[in-house]
Structure 1
């Protein structure tokens, strides 16, 4: 028998995170494209990010027939947040296109994110932006596959902080930090220190 869960944050009612989730406004519009395998993930930080931002939407799937319509809003300049050849490092400087960004963010493992780009050619054709080098994840319970490997909510928070400075979006990370602390508490301090504490 499954435990009752919160219909908003999808966490067990005993561990609901809604009180920690902000409702932040941003000039940047965020479109998160989540691979279906991520929906049942214990963290599912993409959902937390979408809930915490007023100007964001979360779509789940592998192929997105509506993508052309989502990218067609002429009020925004669409860019893909994904590293690659020719990707501009955030923040973007003022150019001839002064529109705010529509930041399209694939959510999944690197392999799944690349699959989303392969299955949706419009994504692959977007101008790319990426985060500066040398960033490290706050997720202390998992060894990152490489430098710059961040949870989706971390990548979105950093991207918005860079692009919309001096505005600060760190409040987005409150439920993420609470999830991590809850997992550490559940495993016990001794187990955490033995298996995950950095020396």
Structure 2
């Protein structure tokens, strides 16, 4: 028998995070392209980001037939948040900058690279990277390096970089609650043994 779940945040009903999810506006539009293997992941941070930002959308797939349409939003300049040889550091908007459509692949590094391979239009976008990223709060995952962030954390840091006058920290409240809940479910001793 499966547990009842919230259809919005996809968490078990008794662990619903909806009360913690904000509705934050941003000048930047965020398009999250999620690999299908991430949809049912217990820590689906991309979904939390899409739910918490009024100017964001989440699309799931491997090949995105409508990508050209999504990238051609009037008034926005699309760029891909992903490392690469010609990637440039994100910086705050200046007065005359066009707003950014920040495209964020969601999945393991291997799956994200696969999304780029299967969607040449995506791979051809100008790339941007984060600088001075804070340490990850994702205490349940063994990161490939100290600069590795969850999708949600990367989006929050990118928005703070682009729009330093605004605060997007509210997006981290459901994330922190999710992590704390997972640690509580496994028990402190198991957490320390496997993740410290």
Settle same-fold status: TM greater than 0.5. yes
CA distance in 1, matches of 2:178, 2:114: 28
Describe the SS at the equivalent of 2:139: coil
Residues 50-90 of structure 1, C-alpha deviation per residue, up to 9 Å, x if partnerless?
Answer: 00000000000000010001111121010000011111111
Q: 1:57 aligns to what?
A: 57
Q: 1:169 aligns to what?
A: 168
Q: 1:178 aligns to what?
A: 177
CA distance in 2, matches of 1:175, 1:133: 23
Q: 1:9 aligns to what?
A: 9
Q: CA deviation at 1:20?
A: 0.3
Describe the SS at the equivalent of 2:30: strand
Q: 2:149 aligns to what?
A: 150
Superposition pairs of residues 1-199 of structure 1, within 5 angstroms: 1-92=1-92, 94=94, 98-132=97-131, 135-197=134-196
CA distance in 2, matches of 1:23, 1:94: 25
CA distance in 1, matches of 2:133, 2:59: 29
CA distance in 2, matches of 1:115, 1:92: 30
CA distance in 1, matches of 2:141, 2:27: 32
CA distance in 2, matches of 1:87, 1:93: 17
Matched length? 196
Is contact 1:135-1:147 (8 Å) kept? no
